[in-house]
Structure 1
């Protein structure tokens, strides 16, 4: 399932707290995104079609909840980036960030710790 950047904004709202109405979503991100109610409702309809969210009637409105978890989204999206840009390999991705000097000392320390833990698990 492919989620656009705009749809991901809606999903982030729902992952933080659900169920939410279109009006509540608009109140949270509308001004920041420059969106009107119609935009939020269009994005919600696209997410419904993709089965990323579900809607339940609540009187005269609908309340939306995520069906797609944040973990599923992150896993799918990161795999797509790796496959598309780095032939499915993590090392070239890390090398890219290192070359661009986007890795902080904290990032490097966390990567070292992760590599040590992975190495320990394999022995």
Structure 2
């Protein structure tokens, strides 16, 4: 599992939007939300390459970046790690905590019910 800082994740997330992408395209995507200098983003891209989260091809004077991991795979692993660390691998206490603090919307509840219903149908 690749460990990413929040800033590294933000850069990778900008790449997941549409790839392959040049550094300039990634910088442009991040410029709306972040006040980062172009050099900072390029440093983060270099770190992500070293960590094996990104790969690149050189095209003339530009580097074209591609993710080595899919967003869904990364978020699943991170979610599993979070639940393991904070809830001993159990999901019920996590959902229960949100329910007790009234942070579950009706849409959240409906989606959870559907997930459980689908799971139960597949178990039969």
TM over 0.5: yes
Mark the runs of 5 or more structure 1 residues left unpaired by the alignment. Answer: none
CA RMSD of aligned residues (A): 1.2
Task: Report the TM-score when normalising by structure 2.
Answer: 0.92
Q: Does 1:26 align with 2:19?
A: no
Q: What are the equivalent positions in structure 2 for 1:1-123 lying under 5 Å apart?
A: 1-123=2-124
After the TM superposition, which parts of structure 1 deviate over 3 Å for at least 4 consecutive aligned residues? Answer: none
- Work out the number of aligned pairs and report it: 123
User: Once the two structures are superposed, what CA deviation does each residue of 1:75-99 show, in whole Å capped at 9, x if it has no partner?
Assistant: 1110111011111111111111112
Separation in 2 of the partners of 1:89 and 1:23? 42
SS in 1 for 2:33: helix
